[in-house]
Amino acid sequence: MPGSGVIVNVVAVLLGTAVGLLFGKVIAERFRAIAFSAIGLAVIVIGASMSIGGLGSLGESSLGEYAGLVLVGALVLGALTGEALRIEHALERFGHFLQGLSARMPSLAPMKTSEPGEKGRTLVEGFVTASLLFCVGAMTVLGSIQDGLGDPSLLYLKALLDGIASIALATTLGVGVGLSAIPVLVLQGGIALGASGVAPYMTDAVIASIQAIGGSLILCIGLDLAGIKRLPVGNMLPAIVWGAAFTILLT
């Protein structure tokens, strides 16, 4: 059934968050902190591998040695576009809105402890981080298109991965991770609904460009999770659209 992959993905994020919250209540802050660093390292490796693989595939297309220029140009123009649209600011405002709603429900309050070194991670941080992680990448776009055309298999795989990731994230970032199911539903559902119109443009080269750029953004998320450097990843999201557009025009 078209759309079943999107639904399964949303449910997986919610269930994973519930499991993570359950474990988070019994894990001391120092263990959550070291697990958080490990998650960040894993995301860095996954993002780097995805980006390098996508860039290699893009280089094997008719773009050849210009593949790197597509990556650089898309990231720069995407960052400028996102900054002009203030995408990350909008995400954070929505996160604060959700946090305001959660304040009326004690069970949704962000996890906090009194142990030394506790960073008081908020619902907003969990929402923004998980939303970016679950919505960036070639699997999101391609899986949603295939789901809209009646093949949800790729989104089923993504649901499994996102469910596992949400367990790990929720132990440290709290209930905000589960609220990322909202943008997952909106983005993937929207792509699935428009699948018939987008599918003809999803060539191997376009998929490779999405993979290269999406992997770069995931790497940035990993840097943030590991506490190395925070970059405005939300504002860089239009880079994926720019990269796909450049690839379609140049191939």
pTM (two decimals): 0.81
Measured CA to CA, the distance from residue 22 to residue 16 in angstroms comes to 10
| Per-residue pLDDT of the chain in tens (251 residues, 90 and over written 9) | 678 999 999 999 999 999 999 887 777 778 877 877 888 898 899 899 999 999 999 999 888 888 999 999 999 999 999 999 999 888 888 888 877 776 665 555 444 433 333 344 568 888 998 999 999 888 898 899 989 988 899 999 999 989 998 998 898 888 899 999 999 999 999 999 998 888 888 899 999 999 999 999 999 988 988 889 888 898 999 999 999 999 999 88
pLDDT of res. 172: 82
Measured CA to CA, the distance from residue 116 to residue 113 in angstroms comes to 9
Going from N- to C-terminal start, the domains of the chain cover: 4-250
pLDDT of res. 102: 63
What is the residue whose two structure tokens read 């449910």?
11
**Whether 224 contacts 129, CB under 8 Å:** yes
pLDDT of res. 244: 92
Burial of 105 (0-12, 13-18, 19+ CB in 10 A): exposed
Tell me the torsion sign for CA atoms 135, 141, 146, 148.
Answer: positive
C-alpha closest to that of 91 among 216, 234, 218? 234
